[in-house]
A and B are shown apart, each in its own frame.
Chain A
Amino acid sequence: MAVETARTEYWRWTESRWTSPDIDWRNGGVISGGVDVGSVSTQAVVMVDGKLYCYSNMRTGSDSPESANQAMAWALDGTGLTIDKLHATVGTGYGRVNVPFATKAITEIACHARGGNFMYGPSVRTILDMGGQDCKAIQCDEKGKVVSFLMNDKCAAGTGRGMEVFADLLGVHITEVGQLSLKVETEPPPVSSTCVVFAKSEASGLLRQGWAKERVLAAYCSAMAHRVGTLLERIGVIKEFAITGGIAKNPGVVNRLAKELNIQPLTTTMDSQIAGAIGAALFAKALHEKKGRS
């Protein structure tokens, strides 16, 4: 009989949900929803009169409409709210056109700028969205409107998926990768390729040469910081600067990027992964109010 051994999925980050203890949607005016169906994760946000009321953050499944439904159902769990009570909802992310209950689809570029403005304040001019499978450098104005943007090209280098692959390769939980990578006495040279597959081969080689895990992670985080750093330099980094998306939670990349660009990113108490969904929910509110006016 085959023996099944337990296998830890180091890449698997914890899905989460949250409800504001201070808001009762029954007393509110406009209830708006935002759903960001990304390539790796999906977030659903509900805002009441433009204030964050509840959200969920979970992995995207193979079926985008189903992921959107599940994320919103989980966000609303225990609130007494139902999807039909949302006045308007905007879908964003790769699956933006597949959100069954959405009023409109808006790109995650516009939504991250809008959400970044909400989370980090109107002084933000440059936003780096480090997502699961791509990376976007966005410049916006004081209202959170996109002025210009750049995206990385086809490959998954410099993205959350790459970090997940490394967590698994080294057997370090994804949430600990960043901190561990900072525990090196001297900074190793970055891995030479940031293509995930090639970087993984290179890392395997380094491990065989006897490199410690933290050193390999430092080399990868450093390569990733350099790669997104060049993307940002192409668009120009104007203060203030903020990072959204999952990698914003990885100090191994964030600290190195801050050092490379010589600019400290703003911080937030909110979950950096929900920026796109927040932006979508704010657009949904504006769409509902615009409809009321016309």
Chain B
Amino acid sequence: MIEKYKEWYEARHEYAVQWKKKTGGKVLGYFCTYVPEEILYAAGVLPVRILGSHEPQSVTEPHIFAMFCPFCRDCLAQGLLGRFHYLDGIMISQSCLHLRQAYTSWDLHIPTQFSYYLPMPHHVQSRHAVPFLRAELETFRKRVEDWTGTTIGDADLRRGIQIVDRNRELLRTAYETRKREDVPMSGLEAMYMVVSSQMVDKAEHTQVTEDVVRVLEGRSAGRSGTRRLMILGSENDDVAFVDMVESAGATIVQDDHCTGSRYFWDKVDANGGDPLTQIAERYVRRLPCPTKDWPARRRIERIVQFAKEWDVAGAIIIQQKFCDPHEIDIPAIRKALESAEVKVLFLELDVTVPVGQFKIRVEAFLEMFAGDDLF
């Protein structure tokens, strides 16, 4: 059943088309994981994440600067190439400049019924962040109600929270099993698991994940003897890259990606109070993206904690070329990891990854962990 994730990942567009046919519901494409999916689930809308395809393309050049990150260009390309033709709406919550450009360009060139820019505060460490976001979520709720012709009451919001939280809980349980010395799932399987949760109906994903979590109890991925690594960076759904790393004799056991732990780690934990406040609190205090991780860098503490608890020997930092918010954190992350005796490999990614050129770096990195018996 763990193979289901890969199927979903590979047939994401077919899935969404089928889902619409089956439910008659609306599908919304979102650009950033700060989008409050709870409210969309409360309205019966299926949120799907807009991700790239890792293929060379030549359609975004007139619309996005070449010195904007490869991910934002790859995302926009999917729209311009018509791959998300089934979307009824798109939205972004205030994200980095590059991804905002992808969103606004998409909005301009590929009209949909609904397009929304949610002003998610960047300064999440401000005491005003929660009331600010709560007010924005109230406006957003009304806009979604107008679009879908439904009423989103507090009970609906609680149901939305429950759907998304249950999925988060299970993903986290699955990640916890990767602490084991004999890891029950490869990094590639974990990547398919999380990324597919951004593509399919959470209720369906949860159903499969309930079973997967049970199976993981007694499962071995047969990867003992490989080097335990974690992988860090912005968005990463590059399965070819992860597969290459794991074929070179490593196993990825933890990550800090918005297609990984940053996406699902923190729950809303509705407790009967005002659901919109609780949702706002969740997005303000969640494991942050570097655009929102200031003035204190809260993310680094969590990265080091992950490295220790998941017992990793090394970390691969993958950097989307030209991504300034991530790049600016790298010296601090490197310093923190190296003081925790975690070796670091830095790689800079473009839309397409020259696997051969990265392979030698990864192999040489893994050779550095070997003992002295060949010297």
Contact = CB atoms under 8 A, between A and B. Distances in A.
Given A107-B363, A107-B364, A108-B360, A153 B374 contact: no
Contacts of B367: 106-107, 109-110, 146
Interface string B12-42: 0000000000000000000000000000000
B249 to A, nearest CB: 12
B368 A147 contact: yes
B348 interface: yes
A154 B353 CA distance: 10
B56 interface: no
B356 interface: yes
B373 A107 contact: no
A144 interface: yes
Contacts of B363: 107
B364 A146 contact: yes
A151 B375 contact: no
A107 B357 contact: no
Contacts of A145: 368, 372, 375
B219 interface: no
A175 to B, nearest CB: 28
Interface string B350-375: 10001011001101100110001111
Given A94-B356, A153-B348, A110 B364 contact: yes
A157 to B, nearest CB: 14
A109 B374 contact: no
A172 to B, nearest CB: 30
Interface in B294-351: 348, 350
Q: Say whether chain A's binding surface is mostly helix, strand, loop, or mixed.
A: mixed
A149 interface: yes
A147 B367 CA distance: 10
A287 interface: yes
B341 to A, nearest CB: 14
A290 B364 contact: no
B361 A151 contact: yes
A109 B364 contact: yes
Q: Determine which residue in B348, B363, B364, B372 has the highest number of CB atoms from chain A within 10 A of its CB, and name it.
A: B364
Contacts, number: 43
A283 B374 contact: yes
- Most chain A CB within 10 A, of B348, B360, B372, B374, is at B374
A154 B354 contact: yes
Interface in A258-294: 283, 286-287, 290
Contacts of A146: 364, 367-368
Contacts of B368: 145-148
Contacts of B360: 94, 107-109, 151
Interface string A99-117: 0000000111110001000
A110 B360 CA distance: 10
B317 to A, nearest CB: 13
A114 B368 CA distance: 12
Contacts of A108: 360
A154 B357 CA distance: 8
Nearest to B321: A153
Nearest to A138: B364
Contacts of A290: 373-374
B364 A143 contact: no
Contacts of A149: 361, 364
B347 to A, nearest CB: 10
Contacts of A283: 374
Nearest to B364: A109
Contacts of B357: 134, 151, 154
23 contacts: A94-B356, A106-B367, A107-B363, A107-B364, A109-B360, A109-B361, A109-B364, A110-B367, A143-B372, A143-B375, A145-B372, A146-B364, A146-B368, A148-B368, A151-B360, A151-B361, A154-B350, A154-B357, A286-B373, A286-B374, A286-B375, A290-B373, A290-B374
Interface of A: 94, 106-110, 114, 134, 143-149, 151, 153-154, 283, 286-287, 290
Closest 6 CB pairs of A and B: A109-B364, A286-B374, A107-B364, A143-B375, A107-B363, A110-B367
